[in-house]
Amino acid sequence: MTPRAAAPASTDQSPGFAALGLDSRLVDALTALGYEEPTPVQREAIPPLLAGRDVLGQAATGTGKTAAFALPLLHLVAPDAEPRERTAALILVPTRELAMQVAEAVHKYGKSLGVCALPIYGGASMENQLRMLKRGVDVVVATPGRALDHIRRKTLRLDSVKVVVLDEADEMLDMGFAEDLEAILQATPQERQTALFSATLPARIAQLAEAHLKDPVRVRIDREVVPSGTAPRVRQVAYIVGRAHKVATLGRVLDVENPTSAIVFCRTRTEVDELAESLNGRGYRAEALHGGLSQEQRDRVMKKFRANSADLLIATDVAARGLDVQHVSHVVNYDVPSAAEAYVHRIGRTGRAGREGVAITLAEPREHRLLRNIEQQTKQKIEIAAVPTVADLRARRLELTRASIRETILAGDLDHFRVVVDSLAQEFDIMDVAAAAVKQADAKESGADEQEIPTAALRPDAARGARDRGSAQQAGRGPEKPRRARRERATADGNVVRVYIGAGRKSKVRPADLVGAIVNEAGVDARDIGAIQITDRFSLVEVPDEIADEVIGTLRATTIKGRRVLVRRDREQST
């Protein structure tokens, strides 16, 4: 395709982006948003995309790849006047959360160009999507399932699409969207420009690229190397806890730690809002920060946090990017980050300016492996601690009361109160008088919900695996090699079978449900699980042949989405 001619270069102070040949209005927008220099993936991907070339990019989340495809896309499809009647660009993403984030980014970057972007995904109002599509949008950011639904309804017309982007393609395939992607791409013009971005490039991604990209420019940005000893002044601790008790555990840990200020990271904006509301109901001063807030709301939240009028900032990773707050004493991972670099970036917000900091992670039993992976990549120890008991909490409160009384004594100005103490000392032992005063002060701090939080022990096989890994490390062996070797051998020999599970989309089954059931119940390494395909009524999961019977037997004895389902080897698998 012939790219649109570039507008005159901007005269602002962003030579890095201006040198890439982007429309000056885009460069000005980036300057206003605080972006100064392009990231490596942006430097490599933007020029060929502006030239109309297809791009096959390997880049992880957090490398700036959204801007790498969104900026040239906006440059190429920006309307000259009003939004066009037909969609000019389509961006496919695996999840609704990512659809919202990418659409928001496209809107921010392209606001001055008059570009209209619309996220469409399952679970949102179909009527609103239909109304916007009928009115006309320039860029559609969609999950494959909902995009295909609109295509079949003829409410999403793709015959005018100039650019298609597949973002996090490996995750879309893992979620069983391979057939949907094929159908969607078949509905777009042959002469379109296509960009495919993926964190990994396995054979199935290569096949997808071979079928739908024309002589693509290959861009590879390796994951950021996590240096050892990144946060030497940060104490790292994790608590293993069931999801039902996470809020109570967080409250207990915060009471014991008594942070001066803390950032609590959550995965989604919904979780941020719910947790902030729950913590405020427990007496904390918590503020929510996520992509759903306006700039004015965001500024107001940060002003409160910097002024110490809010103790806790509950945030998503995306919303917290670029935060520069020096006084954070604690960082809390409400969920375990899936990538070590995300963990390092989060905990790097505490322990600044030579101060000591604390990084706390709340991990469900099934997330124990993620903690071990983070330890291996960062070469740092994450202490697994027991959830504080009621006795621990009371001891900590007494310690804080003692410190407070000591500060009061050192501050002096006690003459007004000596009369009361002298009077009571005539009747009682002076130690009893002091103890009663401490008891009264402590009672004011005591909570009403002092109940023990159930211990979520690791499953025996997970605990055994942790011990085995420790022994392997002491012997100088790579702890994960046996599992990787087995997986590679099974794949090379073709010894992979599909397991049929009699529950699908209509039962609200997600890939995470299947992976969780197999990993937690059968004790299988998540990396031994292959492609997952979910249809309306059933699901197919690839596992190594040697453990298939074990997986099937275990799944038959457990429940998926609260009910027993049929589990067997897939009868239609070709031999």
Task: Return the HEC string of 447-499.
Answer: CCCCCCCCCCCCCHHHHHHHHHHHHHHHCCCCCCHHHHHHHHHHHHHCCEEEE
- Enumerate residues 6+ apart whose C-beta is below 8 A from 447: 255, 283
Helix axes 24-32, 96-110, angle to 10 degrees: 110
Q: Residue 298 burial by CB count (10 A; 0-12/13-18/19+): exposed, middle or buried?
A: middle
Is residue 168 domain-shared with residue 39, that is, in the same domain?
A: yes
The residue out of 364, 390, 416 marking a domain boundary is: 390
- Per the CB < 8 A criterion, the answer to whether 315 and 266 are in contact is yes
Residue 201: which domain range? 15-220
- Specify if 339 maps to a domain: yes
- Specify if 399 maps to a domain: no
- Per the CB < 8 A criterion, the answer to whether 91 and 141 are in contact is yes
pLDDT of amino acid 575: 38
Nearest to 315 by CA among 307, 325, 104: 325
- Per the CB < 8 A criterion, the answer to whether 331 and 349 are in contact is yes
Sheet holding 217-220, edge to edge: 117-120, 139-142, 89-92, 163-166, 193-198, 55-58, 217-220
Instruction: Show the low-confidence residues of the chain (pLDDT under 50).
Output: 1-15, 81, 226, 228-232, 448, 459-494, 574-575
- Specify if 30 maps to a domain: yes
pLDDT of amino acid 497: 84
Is residue 333 domain-shared with residue 412, that is, in the same domain?
A: no
Is residue 180 domain-shared with residue 243, that is, in the same domain?
A: no
- Per the CB < 8 A criterion, the answer to whether 93 and 165 are in contact is no
pLDDT in tens, 401-446: 787 788 788 878 888 888 888 888 888 888 888 888 888 777 665 5
pLDDT of amino acid 423: 86
Please give the structure tokens belonging to residue 141. Answer: 């950011």
- Enumerate residues 6+ apart whose C-beta is below 8 A from 372: 466, 469
pLDDT of amino acid 170: 86
Is residue 215 domain-shared with residue 112, that is, in the same domain?
A: yes
> Tokens 């709340």 correspond to what residue?
362
Is residue 444 domain-shared with residue 348, that is, in the same domain?
A: no
What is the H or E stretch that residue 262 is in? strand 262-266
Is residue 546 domain-shared with residue 426, that is, in the same domain?
A: no
The residue out of 157, 186, 220 marking a domain boundary is: 220
Please give the structure tokens belonging to residue 105. Answer: 């980014």
Q: How far apart are CA 151 and CA 138, in angstroms?
A: 16
Is residue 216 domain-shared with residue 338, that is, in the same domain?
A: no
- Specify if 164 maps to a domain: yes
Of the CA atoms within 13 Å of residue 195, those in its CB half-sphere come to 34
Is residue 29 domain-shared with residue 97, that is, in the same domain?
A: yes
Phi-psi region of 295 (alpha: psi -120 to 50; beta: other; left: phi over 0): alpha
- Specify if 144 maps to a domain: yes
Tell me the CATH number at 507.
3.30.70.330
Is residue 36 domain-shared with residue 164, that is, in the same domain?
A: yes
Is residue 363 domain-shared with residue 442, that is, in the same domain?
A: no
Average pLDDT of the chain, as a whole number:
79
Per-residue b or e along 226-253, where b marks 16 or more CB atoms closer than 10 Å to that residue's CB = beeebbeebbbebbbbeeebbbbbbbbb
pLDDT in tens, 184-239: 999 999 999 999 998 888 888 999 999 999 999 999 986 555 454 444 468 899 99
Is residue 50 domain-shared with residue 195, that is, in the same domain?
A: yes
Nearest to 184 by CA among 102, 57, 72, 91: 91
Please give the structure tokens belonging to residue 407. Answer: 């500060």
- Enumerate residues 6+ apart whose C-beta is below 8 A from 425: 433
- Specify if 62 maps to a domain: yes
pLDDT of amino acid 212: 95
Domain count, the chain: 4
pLDDT of amino acid 574: 42
The DSSP letter of residue 138 is S
Write the single-letter amino acid at 213: L
Tell me the CATH number at 133.
3.40.50.300
Q: How far apart are CA 347 and CA 264, in angstroms?
A: 10
Collapsing DSSP states into helix, strand and coil, what is residue 206?
Answer: helix
Nearest to 510 by CA among 137, 38, 8, 96: 96
- Specify if 292 maps to a domain: yes
Nearest to 12 by CA among 126, 112, 107, 96: 112
Is residue 417 domain-shared with residue 385, that is, in the same domain?
A: no
pLDDT of amino acid 506: 84
The residue out of 188, 220, 252 marking a domain boundary is: 220
Please give the structure tokens belonging to residue 472. Answer: 């392997």
- Specify if 470 maps to a domain: no
